[in-house]
Structure 1
Amino acid sequence: MSRREEILARVKTVEALPSAIRQAIDLLADADADMGELARIIEYDPGLTANVLRLVNSSYFGGLRTITSLREAVVRLGAGQVFQLLIACGVVPCMRAEIKGYGLPRGMLLEHSVVTAVAARTVARELGLTAPDHTFTAALLSNIGKIVLGTFLEVDAAPILDIVTRRGLSFEEAEEAVLGVSHDEVGAALLEHWRLPESIVYVVRWRLKTEQAPRRNLALDLVHMGSALAMMTGLGVGLDGLNYRPSPEAARRLGLDTAGLETALASVIASLDEVRALFS
């Protein structure tokens, strides 16, 4: 078995999302999902219920008045935002862990992923674009492959960084040279194993290679540029640091120039305290 095959096989051993979240996601796959049934599924998990209510009452998710009923929360938010909240509640705990192979102390991967998600939505807002509903979720999950490589397999990033330096490759290209697979492909495989929507898997898979993506995709371009902005803040950056190359073509497709990038970056930085409190 090759190193690549070994890594992708290990993806299927990663613990699945909590049962209540899995059931809720399956229900939400139906466009005519019964919101009352959705609330009943979530209510079976007290911890999940508490987290959903905490998030729905936050200003970041548009809370204008206190909501104490889960049923009211899912009706007011609608299927799209409830899905985002459920994914956040499901993956945030594992993203708080230390990611040894990538030199990420406890909480740093979560911080970087949250900044990426906020930045992707900020870019859309600054450009007057309507971000697809799954943009925030895909951005939040964009680095999840590092959990598999850096924690479950304890991949050592040193040889990868050595190739980056000696051969002038991007970090994901060096990952592929050493491991046969990059963390974005591993992340997509994990989300596919968890049976998340293809639209999210697609963004995670091609986030670092927008030029090679089979089709153009607005959420993909937004998450790609959100990731670039997150790198610029320096928050949650591990050993891979700044060894990534933002796509000029993605910026062109979005109509994002240098001035717009700077404005978006300032907006992201201004909102960081609020977002940190949201996912603390």
Structure 2
Amino acid sequence: MSVDPVAHRKQIEKFISRMPSLSTTVGKVMEICSRADASPNELNKVISLDPVLTGQVLKLINSAYYSLVNKVTSLTRAITMLGLNTVKNMALSTAIIKTVAGVKKSRVLPVSHFWAHSISVGVSAKLLAQSKDIPVMEREEFFIAGLLHDLGKIPYGDEYAEVIRVAGAEQVPLIDVERELLGIDHQEVGLLIADKWKLNEAISQCIGFHHNPQSSRDTVRRQTAFVALGNIYSNIYDIGYAGDIYPAEQTLNHLLAMTGLDWQEFVTIRTNIEAEIEKAQIFLQI
């Protein structure tokens, strides 16, 4: 397959420019939560004007994902219990999933398998972070970053079939073949999407550097490494499918060192992962 890298990049950029913007409500939610003095009351005012988003917040907090004993019916209480950052991430992720569902281009990565992989990466990153006693609210951002890490694969068209075929035939990481055949890899494409949607630094860096966390910014390098480990874990155990069946496992020891994990901690999340993935399906359902 012969692809003109310059023309292909322009095609990708054109596709991204035509992708819908996130809703005004989600934009306001992100703006409020980016301020140090943001309050639950402010967030409540914005979300309560959007019945769909209000329903999503309440459905999520009452789902098995949070396993609360008593049902929460008040939006204000839901925001207070979940925290501003979690509500922001929930609004952001559900909006992105809905948007992506309407524009997904390539037929070589079936939607259900793609999101199964994405959820697994998010859950794996979260469980690995949990084993290192990272605070609950921070772990939630690890999950969202893992859930969205492969956004850059969305704009690729059917030419991606050849990328997957070559990666499988030569038993090499998918990202290496993307660069060789298409001239632009899904991390770089993902950063273009993250910029369009003004995603925060942590999520953007995880999208743009989950195959080489050492190149990410110092402030979020460890989080990016957790997402990278979640990605390798999900590929090794064939949870979902995003085309990368020969990940660069030689980087595993380096990533373990970056996160402070050992091999035993890496493999023992297997006992909890299926139940956690099942709970996390709520993000696709709302």
Question: What is the TM-score with the length of structure 1 in the denominator?
Answer: 0.87
User: What are the superposed Cα offsets for residues 104-150 of structure 1, whole Å, 9 maximum, x if unpaired?
Assistant: 3232222221111111010011233444653222111101112222x
Contact 2:105 2:155 in 1 (8 A): no
* Residue 40 of structure 1: how far off its partner (Å): 1.8
Letter in 2 for 1:236: G
**Counterpart in 2 of 1:257?**
262
* Residue 32 of structure 1: how far off its partner (Å): 0.8
Matches within 5 A, 1:105-184: 105-130=110-135, 131=138, 134-149=141-156, 154-164=157-167, 169-184=172-187
Matches within 5 A, 1:201-220: 201-213=204-216, 215=218, 217-220=221-224
* Residue 14 of structure 1: how far off its partner (Å): 0.9
Using the alignment, how far apart are the partners of 1:165 and 1:54 within structure 2?
40
| Comparing 200-209 and 103-112, the one that deviates more | 103-112
Contact 1:99 1:109 in 2 (8 A): no
Unaligned runs of 5+ in 1: none
| Comparing 32-41 and 156-165, the one that deviates more | 156-165
Contact 2:117 2:239 in 1 (8 A): yes
Matches within 5 A, 1:222-233: 222-233=226-237
**Counterpart in 1 of 2:3?**
none
Using the alignment, how far apart are the partners of 1:177 and 1:48 within structure 2?
42
Determine whether 1:85 maps to 2:90. yes
* Residue 167 of structure 1: how far off its partner (Å): 5.8
Off by >6 Å, runs of 4+ in structure 1: none
* Residue 237 of structure 1: how far off its partner (Å): 0.5
Q: 1:111 to 1:98 in 2, by over 3 A?
A: farther
* Residue 90 of structure 1: how far off its partner (Å): 0.8
* Residue 4 of structure 1: how far off its partner (Å): 2.0
Question: What is the TM-score with the length of structure 2 in the denominator?
Answer: 0.86
Using the alignment, how far apart are the partners of 2:107 and 2:284 within structure 1?
22
Using the alignment, how far apart are the partners of 1:96 and 1:268 within structure 2?
25
Determine whether 1:185 maps to 2:188. yes
**Counterpart in 2 of 1:236?**
240
Matches within 5 A, 1:70-81: 70-81=75-86
Percent identity between the two aligned chains: 22
Q: 1:121 to 1:25 in 2, by over 3 A?
A: same
* Residue 208 of structure 1: how far off its partner (Å): 1.2
Indicate which of 2, 24, 31 corresponds to 1:19.
24
Between the two proteins, the alignment pairs up a number of residues equal to 275
Using the alignment, how far apart are the partners of 1:11 and 1:50 within structure 2?
29
| Comparing 15-24 and 228-237, the one that deviates more | 228-237
Using the alignment, how far apart are the partners of 2:268 and 2:233 within structure 1?
11
Using the alignment, how far apart are the partners of 1:195 and 1:34 within structure 2?
21
Determine whether 1:2 maps to 2:7. yes
* Residue 98 of structure 1: how far off its partner (Å): 9.2
The alignment yields a C-alpha RMSD, in angstroms, of: 2.4
* Residue 50 of structure 1: how far off its partner (Å): 0.6
Contact 2:124 2:233 in 1 (8 A): yes
Using the alignment, how far apart are the partners of 1:264 and 1:279 within structure 2?
22
Contact 1:21 1:86 in 2 (8 A): yes
Q: 1:168 to 1:112 in 2, by over 3 A?
A: closer
